[in-house]
Structure 1
């Protein structure tokens, strides 16, 4: 299930910023004619796992959008940074990511808007080590090679975990790899630790006995955010609301029966249903608009990355949060 955009999703932010116009044209060319911006369509980007995958599989969104005169196209991405790069260049209108990707995307000038979030799920991400690794604590990571997807939520987990154990970001050797490549490097012993999220986390635990050095509990919230392109949302608020309602309904179904959701996801994700059920139980459901507390927590992440020199400029998260209807 690899689309044209997915294969191009490994591009770096440098490439996007250097050639945004050409890349936007290339990405748009890879979409069906009905997905062009001039048509009444919402282009949704999703990752291999989560509520959007279930909503796509159920087919419940299409009738609701048809009543509004809209259709929908779906494109899969390897991770949140790649998804938001596509939003930045105008290839999608809506998607879901973790905490860090929208911060980097906002700093890069992406026209994104936070429209909703799920509750915290700190157990749904972790720093893993091989089952026979001599590393026992986060403090043991000093001088070690730690892999993670650059600009993803687990990058903040790494920062927080290091600081909580008397280390700094510069005390490790970051290895920037997307999930599939990181898993391969992890199994080969090319890296010492791997910061990753579910369902990749649950799959590594089950398949190769990966051991959790630390998860997000007490360190990070691990919110899941839904984002939309600003102009699209301003022009079509009812369409964005229809997608959010579909996601809320799916979330309630999953919360009521995680095992059934795992069975539905398993064929698409390629992970056994019992393993997916573990990941789903570590996830949180209950979609709602961002509260001031969530915005404040997101701002703290942005400030941390800026202090570390990982962001090119300071940002104000509240500037890109959808305002509640009056």
Structure 2
């Protein structure tokens, strides 16, 4: 018995370590919610500005840290790498690319369709009059963004494959600069960048998402965080819903607050907010049909490394008491 004690003790310690690593007995609950956001993350940005999310999470003993990114794909990379716990709203295409990269993520909530909040832009004096005229032209687009799918769908509507144009994969700021300088012939943008370019440079909408792309935006969490802190996510979703309703009910005040964050004219913000639904709801399995259409379109163009079942990601549900 004495000689077996070290073996039994080692085995017991090993089981304890496994339990801790798997979130079992004794595993500490995360006390900081790490949120990834980008400039167009309207509702999360407003919550960050007024501190109301932190206040709502105080009863749970949870604080918030904020991590800003230039676009949605880097947010997904950080989410999958365990560097953040929750992403602010990202375009509908972003989870598709993340899923193709085998990211371990869960849909938490969605903002309802806003098809006019993204569009293909050309300079005011451009000779380009239709999507068909983009053939052989250089088009700036942010890779993996909702605008990327809009471009695919618009070209397909003219029976043109993606290879019919010369894509320039640029961030929104670089895309706008390239269009203004004439280094690209068109730029696919989303709000508030879209409204800013229209009002400040006179850029002309060639085609928006109407009839082509619903343009929903999704909030996602890591699988691990969604499983361990559904209570925290319930508070976040409730605050997002309240904030979305407030923006629509108070457009002028919302524009003033966002003007301070975005450094844009209030008129630009008002136009951008008119185009966004900001209606927050839970994600339903049957509501992911266009996600599958997006995945199939990117796969057909060789832009995804593997086929994706868009309905295969986890769906967060509010905890039941």
Q: TM-score range by the shorter chain?
A: 0.7 to 0.9
C-alpha separation between the residues in 2 aligned to 1:290 and 1:90?
23
Query: Is contact 2:92-2:291 (8 Å) kept?
Result: yes
C-alpha separation between the residues in 2 aligned to 1:53 and 1:216?
24
* Pair 1:67 & 2:42 matched: no
What is the Cα deviation at residue 294 of structure 1? 2.2
Over the aligned positions, Cα root-mean-square deviation in angstroms equals 1.4
Residue number among 198, 205, 210 corresponding to 1:205 in the alignment: 198
Structure 2: state its 5+ residue gaps. Answer: 1-27
Tell me the matched-pair count.
Answer: 290
1:191-210 Cα offsets, whole Å, 9 max, x none, are 00000100000000011000
Residue number among 86, 96, 100 corresponding to 1:103 in the alignment: 96
Aligned to 1:47: 38
Aligned to 1:267: 260
Counterpart of 2:278 in 1: which secondary structure? coil
Counterpart of 2:281 in 1: which secondary structure? coil
C-alpha separation between the residues in 2 aligned to 1:253 and 1:263?
13
Query: Is contact 2:113-2:214 (8 Å) kept?
Result: yes
Aligned to 2:25: none
C-alpha separation between the residues in 2 aligned to 1:220 and 1:146?
18
Counterpart of 1:313 in 2: which secondary structure? coil
The runs of at least 4 aligned residues of structure 1 exceeding 2 Å deviation read: 291-294, 323-326
C-alpha separation between the residues in 1 aligned to 2:186 and 2:278?
29
What is the Cα deviation at residue 166 of structure 1? 2.4
1:59-94 Cα offsets, whole Å, 9 max, x none, are 111122111111101111111112112112211111
Aligned to 1:282: 275
* Pair 1:126 & 2:115 matched: no
Query: Is contact 2:106-2:316 (8 Å) kept?
Result: no
TM-score computed with the length of structure 2 as normaliser: 0.88
Counterpart of 2:214 in 1: which secondary structure? coil
TM-score computed with the length of structure 1 as normaliser: 0.86
* Pair 1:179 & 2:172 matched: yes
Counterpart of 1:116 in 2: which secondary structure? strand
Query: Is contact 1:202-1:275 (8 Å) kept?
Result: yes
**Structure (1 or 2) with the larger CA radius of gyration:** 2
C-alpha separation between the residues in 2 aligned to 1:61 and 1:323?
19
Structure 1: state its 5+ residue gaps. Answer: 1-36
What is the Cα deviation at residue 39 of structure 1? 4.8
What is the Cα deviation at residue 51 of structure 1? 0.8
Residue number among 147, 151, 168 corresponding to 1:154 in the alignment: 147
